[in-house]
A = this chain, B = another copy of it.
Amino acid sequence: MQNDCRKCPFKTKATSMLSECSLDQLSTNHLELKLKKGDSIIKQGTYSTNVVFLRTGLAKIHIAGPYSEQIVKMVNAPSYLGLPTTFGSKINQYSVTAVSDAEVCFIDLEVFQTILDENKEFNREIIQEFCKNELESFHRCANRTQKLIRGNMADALLDFADKIFKSDTYLLPFSQTEFANLVDTSRESVSRVLAEFDKDGIIKVTGRQIEILNKKSLILVSQNG
């Protein structure tokens, strides 16, 4: 299925800077797909020839670590996915999986490269993205390795509220096992800490429903463990 990209309401800041001409080129060179929760978008170890545009929905980037799968980060639409793995290596170095129902557009790498070449502003925005991601990466890694579990879990809960769902009440998009992969812990610890936070009145947990009751406390925990 192909759409007119000019009329697509889901543009990133970068995409909105494209020339009409490039948008047309995009329109005729992409494949649009509707995905369901759990569907694989990019699979580590397979060949990569496409850049993916996440039009709607929520996805997780995950990578096979030496011992277990690790969720590197959560990404919500609109956003480009797989740039590093597609540009940087012929074989995908990580996986991306839909965590909610989602719509994606597969864009041929060559086409994307051409568009990158021909649109300075777009190019600049994409580079900005890379820079921000790398900085985020550094910080995330430093936090993960230095903070204790409570701190990391608080971080994750705050991230969901502020960056992903933009609300202090939300439904965790996955199981505690996956949460553990995101925060580098064991499933059991996730369960325990969630219960602790609930008991302390910082959050209210109802199944996978999270309600942040005391954001200040949560931020404190994020900072001090």
Contacts and interface: CB of A to CB of B under 8 A. Distances in A.
Given A113-B124, A131-B84, A141 B143 contact: no
- Main secondary structure on A side of the interface with B: helix
A133 interface: yes
Contact of A134 (B65, B70, B84, B144): B84
Contacts of A145: 65, 70, 141, 144-145, 184
A128 B223 contact: no
A113 B113 CA distance: 18
Interface string A37-67: 0000000000000000000000000011111
Q: Work out how many copies of this chain go into the complex.
A: 2
A138 B87 contact: no
Interface residues of A, number: 46
A206 interface: no
Given A88-B131, A145-B65, A120 B120 contact: no
A115 to B, nearest CB: 12
Interface of A: 63-68, 70, 72, 83-89, 93-94, 113, 116-117, 120, 123-124, 126-128, 130-135, 137-147, 151, 184, 223
Nearest to A121: B117
Contacts of A132: 84, 88-89
A141 to B, nearest CB: 4
Nearest to A143: B66
Contacts of A131: 83-89, 130
A63 B142 CA distance: 8
Interface centre among A67, A123, A139, A141 (most CB of B within 10 A): A141
A130 B139 contact: no
A141 B144 contact: yes
B66 A146 contact: yes
B134 A68 contact: no
Contact of A66 (B63, B135, B223): B223
A86 B65 CA distance: 30
Given A63-B142, A65-B142, A117-B124, 11 more contacts: A66-B143, A67-B146, A70-B141, A72-B142, A84-B134, A87-B131, A130-B134, A140-B141, A141-B144, A145-B184, A146-B184
